[in-house]
Structure 1
Amino acid sequence: MTKRRDFIVKSVLGLTAGITTGSINLSAEPSTPVTGSSIPAQPNWQNDPHWRKIKYGDWGGPGVSSQPGPMDKILLKDWAPNSLVITQETFVPKAKYPAIDSHVHVVAKTPADIADWVKTMDEVGIETSVVLTHPAIGDDFAKLVKIFKKAYPGRFELYCGVDFTNFEKNDYPKRVVEQLERCHEMGACGVGEIHDKGPGFTKDTSIPPNKRLHVDDERLDAFWEKCAELKMPVSLHVADHPSAWTPLDVFQERTPDYQHFSQYNRNVPSFDEMIEKRNKVLERHPNTIFIACHLGNQGHDLGTLEQAMQKYPNLYLDTSARDYELGRTPRSSAKFLNVYKDRIVFGTDMGRLKSMYQIHWRLLETDDEYIPGRVGWRYYGLDLPEATLKALYRDTAKKIFNI
């Protein structure tokens, strides 16, 4: 355990003195001052019953009489509450078992940077990183094979990309299958990460909705079948966190850091419609393994996700970039991972910092509480049993990637 008491004393003293290190300077003006004429007048939310119910639940309120003060000037995007909770802090330098990171992108491109990445992998216990290289195909993919797989055998596995250009042409189904076969011959072990967050795979909202290429488009059927034949799993990002379909107002769940992912009032299918498109593909192609990235964007609703896992045996998941879903519901998340450990793989999708890997080990391996998170709420350690950790970290990935 670290000596947090000393840190807390320093932080409180800094706050009193107006020092901003580790705390908000309450005596400072907002980073972007606003005038009365620059924004519309806001309602007094304290008097709104619906607002109070969402904010305070059955407690009914903060328990004190709210009064105006310096914090009224602090913007939500600047608020970083410095917790005074003193609790166990476990440092986990290395994964309990040699781990396979099943979701990382091309976060290093030069020989020096890749060597540094491998050094970090050694230090934190990552045996192999599965690099999702989409949209790399052809010569671009061949270059990545050279600098990753051939330079570091066994340390990197590579997914290839998919070419979605000219998908409206009659030869597209045949052409995209041939591209896949060439990438497989060069060493691709899977496909992705490919995104259909709403506008379709091309992300081009100028295309009329009825002509966009979505995951359930029949023009991709031959491609999905070829993936099954070649035993190449597909890492598929369908929809997004459901908050992307809710208004960017006082009730928005996620912080302003994520507002650029908003699909609200855009000409795209709803969240539920996107999930249904994914499910149609799962049903039409039962022999193809689809890894739904980010807990399938359903980590907020494990009950519904469990129904899909039970109905579609070819649905797999990765945990990448959903630390906040696991960490805010530790008991139900741990139960879910324990049950479906043979169909869930560990992934990060957050660069290659040593500390990033190590905070994952703390989240998954310890029972620490009130762990700082990155979405505005705190996490609680899942304290997973050894059998689940071993499956999550490596065994399931080795099975589906044939490594």
Structure 2
Amino acid sequence: MKTYNFDEIIDRSGSGDLKHEALLPRWGRNDLLPLWVADMDFATPDFVVDALKARLSHPIFGYTIEPADYRPTIIDWNESHHCWKIKPEWISFIPGIVKGIGFVVNVFTKPGEKVIIQPPVYHPFRMTPEDNGREVVFNPLRLREDGYYDMDFDNLSEVCDDKCRVLILSNPHNPAGVCWSKETLQRLADFCYEHNIIVISDEIHSDMALFGNRHVPFASVSERAADISITFAAPTKTFNMAGIVSSYAVISNDDLRQRFYGWLKANELDEPTIFAPIATIAAYQKGEEWRKQMLAYVEDNVRFVEDYCRERIPGIRPLRPQASFLVWLNCRGLELSHDKLLDLFIDKAHLALNDGEMFGPGGEGFMRLNVGTPRSVLRQALEQLAKAVNEL
């Protein structure tokens, strides 16, 4: 069995990576330690790189067909990892999950109609519908005393009206890392079914459940859920290859599938780039051992953050994620305004994180930390943060 080295420091300069290259335009300075954008600092697995190199050895990059084992590989992965049985015709390539959300909004809603989101949540859930001329309705999650979140079904009933057409679900949740229970998802499915609402389930972090937790695909929880859902997934977060756009959709309902996939096909948006299926097949067929070792390393990084904050920065309480490499930091114990919290992280600690307010109501006083990085980098970041907090 091969042992992978996640402690290796890889210099990303010259690669055009967003994590570093966007520092100056976004923060006005480039001396920040970047722990924000949701990709990891670990090398993309060798078996993915080798599969791409094998295709690169052929000197012609012309039009290509979908590989015969592309859909069977996706089917096998979802059944073995999530006990979700899907059919080949339910699957379609999509050129990115946020793009997919935009496509659904345009196909299934009209300007002035409404899209429901559950903040604090990944900010494109709000921006994409709004920028397409749709009204966004907030159904905020309820923060529990233990730091985790519940869906607020009473509020959902209050804010939902006959103009609501779509609900965007983050499953597992970003930024809080919650793996929603089957019971919660069933209740959500019942509500949306009864109100004729389509659920877009973003399940891009589905293969990164941590600490014994389990991801439950929304479409798998009931016939009603399957009937109203469009699921988006990808191997990109798990295998650190976001630059190789390899997302896919799964739709079991015939009418939804024909309408959406028909639109994709008419616009040639269902045709993958030459490398997307190759990377997907390699990741899903050969990646299980790498995935297990990576998740174990991420879990140790989470524990490291928890221990460090408890011992040296008690004003910050990290929420242990049930999935993903993103840690939701509750900084409300520092009793700082939004501007002063940003000043602490950016100008004093010299760190680039995503601030909680961008995730919508309920995100105030939080920061999102990416721990998908070598532990030495994480240690440096926490040392800089502890020093800045001590100097307040």
Q: Same fold judged by TM-score > 0.5?
A: no
Taking structure 2 as the reference length, what is the TM-score of the superposition? Answer: 0.30
Structure 1 length-normalised TM: 0.30
Greater C-alpha radius of gyration: 1
Higher relative CO (CA 8 A, sep ≥ 6), structure 1 or 2?
2
